[in-house]
Structure 1
């Protein structure tokens, strides 16, 4: 229903009716009781309507100055209204609990992940988009690849050095690796795979490690006060005897106990490394070796592997079959991220962290001050329009209802019998209010 149009019709209707009845009273119907009664009823409507009409206008008028000592409530109190509105928005609309509950109720994490997945899927199915993506990746790697690798290796060098300087971190890392190795080497198939890798790497790697490994082995055997066949084979192996190495590898494959002996030797090796790092001179040597190793790896990667990697990546991305794998991988990652984020939000710890950080963001933005500043920028006409637009015509309804109630009140003045239907309406309204209140109290 268009209440604005209804308000205009009602206003002019009661005004024209009142003027018509007034003229009738002054001319031909001075003693007509029906005309007099109708005039009283209409005047009641005019009083009721224009009382509310004037009250609403007094909220905004006069916008400047005073009329009979009165200034518009909204223009006069605009700073207080702006401040109060800002505080209300920050406290009630941007409260952390409100935002978190909204995320959960609307399932925004699920919806966001779903829309993102659909967008990625549609993009990857488009050949033009794939070509643009491939070109952008290749151009980026050509332009920024060397500098990215340099930063990566610099960061890796610093991380390795910090790790090496901390005996606690070395021991903790080795314990984790050791447990994973024990778990992995429980099956014979995995031991066969490791043995093959050792055979392939032996000719290149063992000579450079022989001295350190031999020292660790001797210390381990000395502590165990035994040498046995495995011990002799290990010593021969790290003296670079091919037959001894093969003997140890076969024992490693067939006898699970050999794994524990090998790991025991590495325990000693790690312990010796920790002891060496407590000596400043040895620590300096190790730091230098780490730096040289990282620099060598970085130079090799930049000079040899980067161009090959770019060529391989271009060929891989140009193959349409691979995009299905990429799409599946991205979808799986998005699903895992979505599940983790949702689990985090649902957890007590996650809600606490989100609450704290949302509070920080809201305080940093200072929503109260921002809303206050924006409201103060509005002139009184804009502020009035904003309030009237957001009331959705309710103020107009109040005017019309005031007129209707005035007509009802005016009818009582015509004859006291009209009080009975009015009392009936009041009783119906009162009973309806009680029923409504009890209904929502139960909820």
Structure 2
């Protein structure tokens, strides 16, 4: 009976010592968090192993992540994985579809980035662009003549229109002077003419009244405008004037028309053909719904593929610029020792318990062996 009691006692003592020793060793990995001093002398094993080696641990973890876990080659393999890329395409398609189906207007999307008075700013930018483009273009052309600037084919085409212009002017003149309005205009002109002639005009008015003169002059004016000689003379005159105009420098044309008039005309045409306000108040979907299938089935997969290739080809440079090793190091260093302990224990709590139990088991076995040795020595 004494034999079994001794063996059991030694086994229990050994198990307690073994379990306690291993448990204490595990706790000493983290505890104490800070060094303990007696006077000026620091107690051995303070602080714990991990608090003492935290900086070295941070460096080693950063190096391990970069050299063994998150390597350029592993990332490149991921981008070569068809299943991963298909998943990326599905995700991108869902995101793009969600974006396109939203009822938000273009104006609301732009304003969500902090841009206010969108239409005014766009119109202002367009006006500035028109003015700058006008100045840039005219700056190179002002010293040149119309004949130097306009293509020869266009000049010939314009000259070929002169007979049509001549006929148009004469036809309009005929129509006008044959009308009641033209008749009244001739009468007013005749009255003004006679009044300006002084006594001679009064003398003529005494013998012939204005109505008679107008009735005689009107057919002559119509006959004059209908005569081929008039047509030839006007056509010749227009050709001579056109030849003179061709020698004008562009600066003179600008002066005649007016710079501000040209810029205002261009701005008005742009606003007329580009209804910016109307476009901004439409939802994005109204512009994209006709191309939805093409965007989702062609453009999005292609963009994902191109992005994957771009990242894979430049992953080394990107990782160098990211300084992942430093990021991991700084992150670990920023953790409190309590947080590190919590993280390690959350991962290895079961294993640490098993180590404690193993220590108790080994201690118990050693206690049993010691008990046998004591009995033998006795």
Q: For 1:325 and 1:142, how far apart are their aligned partners in 2?
A: 18
Change (3 A) 1:160 1:409: farther
Task: Identify the match of residue 89 of structure 2 among 99, 102, 110.
Answer: 110
What residue is the counterpart of 1:355 in the other structure? Answer: 315
Which deviations, in whole Å up to 9, do the C-alpha atoms of 1:390-414 show, x marking residues without a partner? Answer: 4354323322233344445656667
What residue is the counterpart of 1:326 in the other structure? Answer: 288
* Within-5 A mapping of 1:110-259: 110-124=89-103, 129=104, 133=108, 140-150=117-127, 212-214=151-153, 240=160
User: When you count helix as a share of all residues, which structure comes out higher?
Assistant: 1
**1:113 offset after TM fit, Å?**
0.8
* Within-5 A mapping of 1:30-45: 31-45=1-15
Change (3 A) 1:343 1:83: same
Aligned partners of 2:62 and 2:329 also within 8 Å: yes
Unpaired segments ≥5 residues, structure 1: 1-30, 165-206, 216-234, 243-284, 290-294, 417-443
What residue is the counterpart of 2:35 in the other structure? Answer: 65
- Tell me which of the two structures has the higher relative contact order, counting C-alpha pairs closer than 8 angstroms and 6 or more residues apart: 2
**1:115 offset after TM fit, Å?**
2.9
Change (3 A) 1:304 1:344: closer
What residue is the counterpart of 1:306 in the other structure? Answer: 271
Change (3 A) 1:114 1:69: same
Q: Secondary structure at the match of 1:385?
A: helix
Aligned partners of 2:110 and 2:118 also within 8 Å: no
**Is 1:402 aligned to residue 367 of structure 2?**
no
Aligned partners of 1:96 and 1:358 also within 8 Å: no
Unpaired segments ≥5 residues, structure 2: 37-41, 141-145, 163-249, 255-259, 374-378
**1:79 offset after TM fit, Å?**
1.9
Q: For 1:139 and 1:371, how far apart are their aligned partners in 2?
A: 40
**Is 1:75 aligned to residue 51 of structure 2?**
yes
* Within-5 A mapping of 1:367-382: 367-382=324-339
Q: For 2:135 and 2:88, how far apart are their aligned partners in 1?
A: 37
Q: For 2:150 and 2:337, how far apart are their aligned partners in 1?
A: 88
What residue is the counterpart of 1:171 in the other structure? Answer: none
Change (3 A) 1:334 1:65: same
Aligned pair count reads 264
Q: For 2:135 and 2:60, how far apart are their aligned partners in 1?
A: 53
Aligned partners of 2:107 and 2:118 also within 8 Å: no
Change (3 A) 1:80 1:135: closer
Q: For 2:340 and 2:360, how far apart are their aligned partners in 1?
A: 27
Q: Secondary structure at the match of 1:59?
A: coil
Q: Secondary structure at the match of 1:45?
A: helix
Change (3 A) 1:114 1:59: same
Change (3 A) 1:117 1:378: closer
Change (3 A) 1:386 1:350: closer
TM-score, normalised with respect to structure 1: 0.45
Q: For 1:159 and 1:35, how far apart are their aligned partners in 2?
A: 109
